[in-house]
Amino acid sequence: MKQSPRLRSFPSLAMAGLCVAVIAGCSQDQFSDLREFMATAGSAGQPPLESLPPVKPQEVFTYEPGDLADPFKPRSLKPAKGGGAFEPDLTRPRGPLEQHPLDSLRMVGTMAKGGQLYALVKTAQNALYRVKKGDYLGLNFGLVIGITDASIELRETVQDGVGDWTETKAMLALQE
């Protein structure tokens, strides 16, 4: 049996009608409250803006070098002649504990003999030395200025960056 051309196009037309109905159903105005808010939001007016503070004029600085150093050139550090009030006696014979850096020496104890307190210092090679006030330790002319049961106080003499001698304090604490 043969269908008429009208009957064949009917399902197509029905489907097209259904799509139009669905699209028309989705186009309801769901955002009417949003549109109303947007229409009334600007009508209340906004508070006036405060004016900006006036711009303060900046003071102009003109660099007059005169006898001032040029800030764009490196400074020349003239090496000092050395010396100064803290210059150590470089001709003094150095003791065995002055051959070791201070951080490689360890204070391991104290002992008293004849009313004088001695510190016991061990080197990295496990050699044990007895140290008294006035002895030297370390590479920086470290003079022992005090001994207690817990530490050795030193005054080291070092050169600063320009060659002048300065004194610093150091301490070697009891470690065993």
Q: Considering only residues 16 and 92, tell me which one the structure prediction assigns the higher pLDDT.
A: 92
Is the pTM higher than 0.85? The answer reads no
* Cβ atoms 137, 98 nearer than 8 A: yes
pLDDT at position 68, please? 77
Average pLDDT over residues 26-39: 74
- Tens digits of residue pLDDT in 111-163: 999 989 999 999 999 999 999 999 999 999 999 999 999 999 999 998 887 77
Given a cut of 60, whether residue 31 has pLDDT beyond it is yes
Q: What is the 3-state secondary structure (H, E, C) of the chain?
A: CCCCHHHHHHHHHHHHHHHHHHHHHHCCCCCHHHHHHHHHHCCCCCCCCCCCCCCCCCCCCCCCCCCCCCCCCCCCCCCCCCCCCCCCCCCCCCCHHHHCCHHHCEEEEEEEECCEEEEEEECCCCCEEEECCCCEECCCCEEEEEECCCEEEEEEEEECCCCCEEEEEEEEEECC
pLDDT-derived band at 38 (thresholds 50, 70, 90) equals confident
pLDDT at position 69, please? 75
At the top level of CATH, which class does the domain 96-173 belong to?
mainly beta
Indicate the range of 1-5, 7-11, 88-92, 131-135 predicted with least confidence.
1-5
pLDDT at position 145, please? 95
Strands (DSSP E) along 53-115, which ranges?
A: 106-113
pLDDT at position 95, please? 92
What residues does each domain of the chain span? Answer: 96-173
* Cβ atoms 118, 107 nearer than 8 A: no
Separation of alpha carbons 156 and 166, rounded Å: 8
- Tens digits of residue pLDDT in 39-94: 777 666 677 788 889 998 988 888 777 777 777 777 655 554 555 677 888 888 99
Average pLDDT over residues 158-172: 86
Backbone angles phi, psi at 24, to 5 degrees: -65, -35
Separation of alpha carbons 66 and 27, rounded Å: 82
pLDDT at position 27, please? 58
